[in-house]
Amino acid sequence: MFAEMLQAARELLAVRSPLDAELMVSDMIGAWWGRRLPGGDVEQVLGEGLVDYAAKAGTPAALTLLIAMAYLGTARQAAKAEGAALALIESGVARPGWADRVGAVKPTGCYVSRDAYGDQDTVVCTFGYRGLTGTAGEERHALVLVVDYNMRGMARDAWVSSHVDTLLDKARAEADGNPMLRFEELPAQQARALLESAMRATRDAFDRHGPPPVSDSYATYHAFARSRIKALPPGRKRPAPLHTEAPYNRERRAMLAAEFLASDAAEHLSDPSAASRCADHIIDYGCEQDFGRPLRVSPTKCETFLLDWLPRKIMLSAAEQEAVPYVLSAWARFAAGRTALPEPGLRATLDAIWEATTRFAETYRDPASLGLDRELVERLLPDGDLSALARRVFAFPYLQGAHGDILLDRLNPAVEADRRILLEIDHLHDRNRPDYQEHLAWHEEIARRLWNGDPPQLWEAAQRLLDLGHDRHDVLHVLIEIAERIGDDPDELAAAFDDIADIPDSPPV
């Protein structure tokens, strides 16, 4: 692969523009963005490996690649590439004419296009290469990144345009007279803080869940964007998304729910108790998943709440399942008045809610509909966190029936003393082990972590091993071995669980 990339780098010898060279190399090293390598970091194995390969090749094409990577690579890649490039130059390898101008840019303006919903920001940062006088007037270009707040503030799209004036004129024209769009200048320091945060959110999503849902072009421009953002001046806090208010503590959330239930928007709701609980879920979702913005409504946010978050996270009663679409529609009317959402935006939001209502009934699966006893589910989910059900069932498989004089139905896995009894029953076959008490204590530790989802990578690792057909007890013993070996360091523990791909031939017992 490195040989093919170095061969492709020969095209850089014919390039005259530093912008073209940077974009070509950004595209090249974007080939491994979003990839995982078992037991190794892709940027280290492939990125630094490419630098080492180019350094050994010592050709003019290798030098052009190293010069570009000294600007576009990660900190470690850049340092290695710069040292290797200087060594090749000192040995007499010819460098391209654009070499002195790579990355020699100055920002010329930053702008943001925001939709009235607060769904996303499209950030435009313009740059020019420095001329002989140090001004930024040559080869103007614009970096465009889309920040999606329905995806936890991730950067999900990126591209570059050399038609700067046309791009800006079009953005202004689209916002002119359109109540659903705003276009405004953004201080360069704020633009940097916003984009750094967005790209970090994309990276974090990748680390936790695998490749995030970004555009095809994001990988191509990722390295270029990362480097251009560093050309912006630092020093400002990240600007708050549209409709952000002061933080909502528990008392303020309760007050907001009371205001909604007493409003004209909620007067037609027939079940006040179910409406109150649904309102609490809507407010919690906005506070915890949407940058503290419970009053922000949009078609996409409401669909995500109904069709993704609720079915995955919240155990609803039958009355709540019936009420939630009506409560959400009433909430949209109430919130739109508080945030001054234009009438077209409210109509589109209400339409989206009603279109999603039928799909919600099909998507939401009450655990009782799967044959699980309601009382059992409530014991496993005292916090109502539906996403925890599978991992808690895995941790405590014996919760019904009797064992001797012990009635399992009366034991509460959320209580430490009852949890100990449940695990002792699960490990009757281990009672003759000389280290039984210590072994049981480690099972308690893993059960506690599974109950709390701490770290998330623990249950993800267990699922991977179960999917491969491994026995539950063998899986638990592998998890114990890792927890015992790593200790309490949260980052190292998460990374170790994340690296599990299979059970060794002789699993620990």
Length of the chain: 509
More confident residue, 130 or 396: 396
What's residue 39's pLDDT? 65
Q: Are 356 and 307 in contact (CB under 8 A)?
A: yes
Predicted pLDDT of residue 135 = 60
Q: What is the pLDDT of residues 85-114, one digit of tens each?
A: 999 999 999 999 999 999 999 999 999 999
Per-domain boundaries in the chain: 2-101, 105-229, 250-364, 401-498
> For position 185, what pLDDT does the model report?
97
3-class SS at 405?
coil
Q: Which two tokens stand for residue 42?
A: 């892709």
Higher pLDDT, 220 or 496: 220
Task: Assess whether pLDDT exceeds 60 at residue 274.
Answer: yes
Task: Quick: pLDDT tens for 319-347.
Answer: 999 999 999 999 999 999 999 999 999 99
Tell me the average pLDDT across 133-153: 86
pLDDT of residue 65: 96
Task: Report the distance separating Cα 159 and Cα 424, nearest Å.
Answer: 58
- Is the confidence at residue 132, as pLDDT, over 60? no
Task: Report the alpha-carbon distance of residue 22 to residue 28 in Å, rounded.
Answer: 10
Nearest to 140 by CA among 108, 92, 171, 185: 108
236 pLDDT exceeds 90? no
CA–CA dist 370, 367 (Å, integer)? 5
Contacts of residue 500, defined as CB under 8 A and 6 or more positions apart, other chains included, come to 461, 464, 465, 478, 482
The pLDDT value recorded for residue 162 is 95
Q: What is the DSSP string of 334-347?
A: HHHHHHT--HHHHH
Contact by Cβ (8 Å): 493, 486: yes
Query: What integer is the mean pLDDT of 464-468?
Result: 91
What does the pLDDT look like over 144-203, one tens digit per residue? 999 999 999 999 999 999 999 999 999 999 999 899 999 999 999 999 999 999 999 999
Location of structure tokens 């591209």: 159
Q: Tell me the average pLDDT across 204-216.
A: 84
CA-to-CA separations, 335 to 75, 253, 259, in angstroms, rounded: 45, 14, 11
pLDDT value at residue 133:
53
CA distance 390 to 16: 58
* CA distance linking residue 13 with residue 96, whole number of Å: 6
Q: Has residue 455 got a pLDDT over 60?
A: yes
Does 220 score more than 60 pLDDT? yes
Q: ω before 455 within 30° of 0 (cis)?
A: yes
Over its C-alpha atoms, the chain yields an Rg (Å, rounded) of: 28
Mapping DSSP to helix (H, G, I), strand (E, B) and coil, where does residue 241 land? Answer: coil
| Residues 236, 256: Cα–Cα separation, whole Å | 31
pLDDT of residue 333: 98
Contact 261, 279 (CB under 8 A): yes
Is residue 443 very low, low, confident or very high in pLDDT (cuts 50, 70, 90)?
A: very high
Enumerate residues 6+ apart whose C-beta is below 8 A from 92. Answer: none
> What is the pTM for the complete model shown?
0.83
Q: How many CB atoms lie within 10 A of CB 251?
A: 8
506: CB partners within 8 A, 6+ apart: none
pLDDT at 351 over 80: yes
How far apart are the C-alpha atoms of 125 and 113, rounded to whole Å? 12
244 CB-near residues (< 8 Å, 6+ apart):
291, 292, 293
Task: Name, in order, each residue with C-beta under 8 angstroms of 250's C-beta and a sequence gap of 6 or more.
Answer: none
Here the tokens at position 303 are: 């669909």
Which one-letter DSSP state was computed for residue 47? I
Q: Where are the beta strands (DSSP E) in 367-475?
A: 402-403, 406-407
Residue 107 near residue 232, CB atoms below 8 Å = yes
User: What is the DSSP annotation of 164-225?
Assistant: HHHHHHHHHHHHTT-TTEEEEE--HHHHHHHHHHHHHHHHHHHHHHSS-S--HHHHHHHHHH
Mean pLDDT of 70-91: 96
CA–CA distance, 427 with 443 (Å, rounded to integer)? 9
Inform me whether the pLDDT recorded for 371 exceeds 90: no
> Predicted confidence band at 508 (pLDDT cuts at 50, 70, 90)?
low
Rounded to 5 degrees, φ, ψ at 507 are: -65, 150
77 burial (CB, 10 Å; 0-12 / 13-18 / 19+) is buried
Strand order of the sheet with strand 136-148? 154-161, 136-148, 120-130, 105-115, 181-185
pLDDT of residue 506: 54
pLDDT of residue 137: 66
- Distance from the first to the final alpha carbon of the chain: 41
- Tell me the HSE value of 428 on the side-chain side, using a 13 A CA sphere: 6
DSSP reduced 3-state for 431? coil
3-state SS of 268-312 is CCCCHHHHHHHHHHHHHHHHHHCCCCCCCCCHHHHHHHHHHHHHH
Whole-number pLDDT of residue 249:
95
Judging by DSSP bridges, how do beta strands 154-161 and 181-185 pair with one another?
Answer: unpaired
pLDDT at site 134: 54
The DSSP bridge partners found for residue 114 are 121, 182
List the one residue out of 465, 452, 480, 469 whose CA is nearest residue 391: 452
- Please determine, for residue 505, whether its predicted confidence score (pLDDT) is greater than 70: no
* Percent of the residues in the chain that have a pLDDT greater than 90, as a whole number: 79
